[in-house]
Amino acid sequence: MTKPKFSTLFVGALALVMVVLLGAAVLLGGSTERAGKTVVTVRLWDEQVAAAYRQSFDAFSREHPDVEVRLNVVAYSSYFDTLRTDVAGGGADDVFWLSNAYFANYADNGRLLDVGKTLGQDAARAWDASVVRQFTRNGVLWGVPQLTDAGIAVYYNADLLDRAGVDPAELDDLRWSPDPAADTLRPLLARLTVDAAGNRADTPRFDPARTRQWGYNAANDLQGVYLNYVGSAGGEFQDGDRFAFDNPAAVQAFEYLVGLVNSDHVAPPASDTNGNGDFSRNQFLQGRMALFQSGTYNLAAIADQAPFRWGVAMLPTGPKGRVSVTNGIAAAGNAASPHPDAVRQVLDWMGSTRGNEFLGSGGAAIPAVTAAQPGYFAHWAARGVDVTPFFRVLDGPRIPAPGGPRFAAGYQALTPYFDEMFLGRRDVPGSLAAAQDAANAAADR
Amino acid sequence: MTWSRNAAVYAGLVVLAVVTLVPFGLGLLTSFTSARQFNTESPLSVPSPPTLANYLGLGDAGFGRAIVVTALVTAVILLGQLTFSVFAAYAFARMEFPGRDALFWVYVATLMVPATVTVVPLYLMFAEAGLRNTFWALVLPFMFGSPYAIFLLREYFRTIPTDLIRAARMDGASTLDVIVHVVLPASRPILVTLALITAVSQWNNFMWPLVITSGRTWQVLTVATAGLQSRYDAQWTLVMAATTVAIVPLIVLFVAFGRHIVGSIVVTGLK
């Protein structure tokens, strides 16, 4: 037998290495799927909630041994981009999380299961009414409510309030108004804002260029800040799916907020907050901000990290009352799923008290199944935190959470105008008019 | 005069080095800072006490698997691309067949098409073929050579003296023998260059893996790092630990092949 040539051996060795590498890849992707089981995949963006879901679906699998649920956690930063391509390309999961801002497009294009038809019209009675309303479009519910953000409230640093001689109970009666005689928020914020030399913002020697402690986060923040101001001024942000924030009440609200930043200097400049959504929260956590208006989504971070005494107070009242936004997350069924019956069983479980209550027990999120919520309250009560301001505010009027089929495109278009407006480079009425035109034009495209 | 000029040059270089290196230093520092300290103190503060929690937290985020997937993807593409590019470039440089030059220039012209243009058609092809979210989807578009690699190799192969190849042929060498015994040993600098360029670009590839995969099974390093940022928390301490881990193999490559990297800049004119 003749010895193979070196060149043949060389190419053979390359091929062998390639085979070994591809073999490793095959092993790495090896499926643990057991025969005879239907696999239902659920896509979501939150790792903490995914851990709670794993426990929930373990319980589900014990009762439904023929169905296996697998979670697919996709980062929020790319969630809606990849979901869109995957739904269009037929590769989306059987069940996927949707937020109010993004669901309309999928509903209008027949990509989602009609929850009323799938689980029965009475199923929605067990769920948080505000989340049911958010995911109802043209009389049809398009998702099984999973989580609610509750309302917006104000976190306060009790140590800084003490130092300024402010009683936390005063915060619940705060009122903002363009009329200085009726406005109690602005004077209080001036007392809570201090420069490096210790001068308060309501004293003549205050130097706004060297602020050591901010009063408040009057930032360019849709959910936490300005939507609530627009609502409490009696204005609207959207009319149906159209952007409609160019109205006198919204002008009043934004002029007040921009004034807090650029005239009164009681809130951090927009150059710090426009591009950094965490800036205000971190200033609060660093003990450099007295009042921080936000939602329950920051509760766990503040409870775990704040090195000072803190509490939660009600949202300030505006000229037309105390108005908050509330947001929710729903699990939508993929209309193109190859196993609709298993999807129905999984959705039914996710919308049940037993299936949903796992999500609230760690205190990170509020279950949207009403009967599953006590676990959330029990968690925070055990930690000595009163979370009722986030819920009490929803007893009053609300401003609807923004959404619509082209909300994302419209919101992207309005952002640069709002950035300039909060920076004080453009006047408020002109900015709102231009931003509204740009947002609607982008949404129409 | 010379002394003062040198001092000015060195001062300028030191400033540039500081500007270049400080962001890496800050990233490294942040990766050893606890999330609590990072959020409650200045981002520039020194970790006290330094913590490994961020590195350990990467394991929970599926980072270990992402490293293995990325290494495997890079290795398969590297091997495939070098092999197929060498064969194609040799054919374009040294073999005679009708339409050779026309075919070569048409192929090289695809260099002008931005990668973003082909993402959607590629995605649809892979989705139709049922290969979405598979290992094949990550490697197939890149492993059969690239116009850039073939162009680079072809130009280099053309500088190998024809007499050398003729001599091998007269000794009875086949085309494969010529490639293995003559062309490859004479082309080591360009092959190392190409390997480095391919390894670094595939290690850092983000857009295609982001589009074609979802979930953790085939998540690569870049996508896993981007995924650390959640809806309401940027998690900078974790992100910095992730980027520190991600650049270690590239630093190792640089240390091991530093001489060749400098050579490759000369060979390709790259900066």
Query: Do residue B206 and residue B92 come from a single domain?
Result: yes
Mean pLDDT of A309-338: 94
Mean pLDDT of B115-138: 88
Task: List CB contacts of A406: < 8 A, sequence separation 6 or more.
Answer: A105, A241, A442, A443, A444, A445
What are the distances in angstroms from CA B160 to CA A403, B89, B155?
A: 64, 13, 10
pLDDT reported for residue A118 = 93
Query: Do residue B238 and residue B214 come from a single domain?
Result: no
Mean pLDDT of B31-42: 84
Closest CA to A422 of A289, A256, A295, A277: A256
For the CA atoms of chain B, what is the radius of gyration?
Answer: 23
Q: How many CB pairs under 8 A join A and B?
A: 117
Examine residue B89 and state whether it is found in any structural domain, yes or no.
yes
Contact A213, A286 (CB under 8 A): no
pLDDT reported for residue B88 = 94
Contact A403, A101 (CB under 8 A): yes
**CB nearest to B226's CB, from A75, A90, A277:** A75
pLDDT reported for residue B36 = 82
Structure tokens at A219: 């930032």
Examine residue B265 and state whether it is found in any structural domain, yes or no.
no
Query: Do residue B78 and residue B192 come from a single domain?
Result: yes
Order of strands, sheet of A291-294, starting from the edge strand that comes earlier in the sequence: A291-294, A153-157, A310-313
pLDDT reported for residue B263 = 66
Residue A36, pLDDT above cutoff 80: no
Query: Do residue B142 and residue B169 come from a single domain?
Result: yes
pLDDT reported for residue A35 = 61
pLDDT reported for residue B264 = 62
Closest CA to A433 of A219, A243, A233, A221: A243
3-state secondary structure of A239: strand
Query: Do residue B37 and residue B86 come from a single domain?
Result: no
Closest CA to A325 of A297, A353, A351, A360: A297
Contact B118, B207 (CB under 8 A): no
Examine residue B78 and state whether it is found in any structural domain, yes or no.
yes
Domain annotation for chain A: domains and CATH numbers = 38-149+327-372 (3.40.190.10), 153-325+398-444 (3.40.190.10)
pLDDT digits (tens, 9 = 90+) for A150-202: 899 999 999 999 999 999 999 999 999 999 999 999 999 999 999 999 999 99
Q: Round to whole Å and give the CA distance between A195 and A207.
A: 6
pLDDT digits (tens, 9 = 90+) for A421-440: 999 999 999 999 999 999 99
Residues facing residue A332 across a β-bridge: A96
Examine residue B260 and state whether it is found in any structural domain, yes or no.
no
Phi and psi angles of residue A366, each rounded to the nearest 5 degrees, phi first: -100, 120
Range list of β-strands (E), A227-307: 238-239, 242-243, 291-294
pLDDT reported for residue A7 = 76
Residue A243, pLDDT above cutoff 90: yes
Query: Do residue B195 and residue B169 come from a single domain?
Result: yes
| Cis peptide bond upstream of A400, omega within 30 | no
**Interchain pair A28, B36: CB under 8 A:** no
- For A311, counting Cβ atoms within 10 Å of its Cβ (0-12 exposed, 13-18 middle, 19+ buried), the class is middle
Residue B232, pLDDT above cutoff 70: no
**CB nearest to B68's CB, from A28, A76, A281:** A28
Over pLDDT 90: what percentage of chain B? 38
Examine residue B138 and state whether it is found in any structural domain, yes or no.
yes
Residues shown for chain B = 271
3-state secondary structure of A329: strand
Residue A250, pLDDT above cutoff 90: yes
Residue B1, pLDDT above cutoff 70: no
Q: Which residue has the tokens 């650029």?
A: A262
User: A-contacting residues of B 224-243, CB under 8 Å?
Assistant: 226-234
**CB nearest to B41's CB, from A43, A278, A286:** A286
Residue A3, pLDDT above cutoff 80: no
pLDDT reported for residue B269 = 55
> Minimal Cα distance from A303: which residue of B?
B36
Q: Which domain holds residue B214?
A: 62-227
What are the distances in angstroms from CA A443 to CA A220, B47, B250?
A: 21, 46, 43
**Interchain pair A277, B216: CB under 8 A:** no
Query: Do residue B97 and residue B214 come from a single domain?
Result: yes
Q: Round to whole Å and give the CA distance between A398 and A321.
A: 10
Question: Nearest 5°: CA angle at B93, between B92 and B94?
Answer: 105
| A228-242, B35-49, B130-144: segment of lowest average pLDDT | B35-49
pLDDT digits (tens, 9 = 90+) for B147-189: 989 999 999 999 888 888 899 888 888 888 999 889 998 888 8
Q: Round to whole Å and give the CA distance between A92 and A172.
A: 46
User: B-contacting residues of A 273-292, CB under 8 Å?
Assistant: 277-278, 281-282, 285-287
Query: Do residue B32 and residue B132 come from a single domain?
Result: no
Contact B63, B242 (CB under 8 A): yes
Task: List CB contacts of A300: < 8 A, sequence separation 6 or more.
Answer: A363, A364
| A81-85, B7-11, B15-19: segment of lowest average pLDDT | A81-85
Please tell me the number of Cα atoms within 13 Å of A300 on its side-chain side: 16
Assess B171–A contact: CB distance below 8 Å, yes or no: no
B65-71's contacts with Cβ under 8 Å and 24+ in sequence apart are B65/A28, B65/B216, B65/B219, B66/B216, B66/B219, B66/B220, B66/B221, B66/B223, B66/B224, B67/B221, B67/B245, B68/A28, B69/A28, B69/B135, B69/B138, B69/B218, B69/B219, B69/B220, B70/B203, B70/B220, B70/B221, B70/B222, B71/B249
Q: Which residue has the tokens 């309005």?
A: A414
pTM: 0.77
Residue A5, pLDDT above cutoff 80: no
Query: Do residue B125 and residue B182 come from a single domain?
Result: yes
Query: Do residue B96 and residue B202 come from a single domain?
Result: yes
Q: What is the 3-state secondary structure (H, E, C) of chain B?
A: CHHHHHHHHHHHHHHHHHHHHHHHHHHHHHHCCCHHHHHHCCCCCCCCCCCCHHHHHHHHCCHHHHHHHHHHHHHHHHHHHHHHHHHHHHHHHHCCCCCHHHHHHHHHHHHHCCHHHHHHHHHHHHHHCCCCCCHHHHHCCCCCCCHHHHHHHHHHHCCCCHHHHHHHHHCCCCHHHHHHHHHHHHCHHHHHHHHHHHHHHHHCCCHHHHHHCCCCCCCCHHHHHHCCCCCCCCCHHHHHHHHHHHHHHHHHHHHHHHHHHHHHHHHHCCC
Q: Where residue B47 falls among pLDDT bands split at 50, 70, 90?
A: confident
Assess B48–A contact: CB distance below 8 Å, yes or no: no
Q: Where residue A34 falls among pLDDT bands split at 50, 70, 90?
A: low
Examine residue B124 and state whether it is found in any structural domain, yes or no.
yes
Over pLDDT 70: what percentage of chain B? 94
Contact B153, B89 (CB under 8 A): yes
Distance of CA A391 to the CA centre of its chain: 16
Q: Round to whole Å and give the CA distance between B135 and B118.
A: 19
Residue B271, pLDDT above cutoff 80: no
**CB nearest to A22's CB, from B76, B123, B214:** B76
pLDDT digits (tens, 9 = 90+) for A366-425: 999 999 998 899 999 999 999 999 999 988 888 988 888 888 889 999 999 999 999 999
- For A221, counting Cβ atoms within 10 Å of its Cβ (0-12 exposed, 13-18 middle, 19+ buried), the class is buried
Range list of β-strands (E), A188-256: 194-195, 211-213, 238-239, 242-243
Number of C-beta neighbours around residue A248 at 10 A: 11
Q: Where residue B62 falls among pLDDT bands split at 50, 70, 90?
A: confident
Query: Do residue B89 and residue B176 come from a single domain?
Result: yes
Q: Average pLDDT over chain A, rounded to whole?
A: 91
Structure tokens at A199: 């001068």
Contact A300, A364 (CB under 8 A): yes
Compare A97 and A84 and report the one with higher pLDDT: A97
Structure tokens at B250: 């590239």
> Minimal Cα distance from A284: which residue of B?
B40
pLDDT digits (tens, 9 = 90+) for B249-261: 888 888 888 777 6
- CATH classification of the domain holding B75: 1.10.3720.10
Task: List CB contacts of A169: < 8 A, sequence separation 6 or more.
Answer: none
Tally the domains of chain B: 2
Query: Do residue B43 and residue B94 come from a single domain?
Result: no
Query: How far apart are the CA of B252 and the nearest CA of chain A, in angstroms?
Result: 21
**Interchain pair A29, B36: CB under 8 A:** no
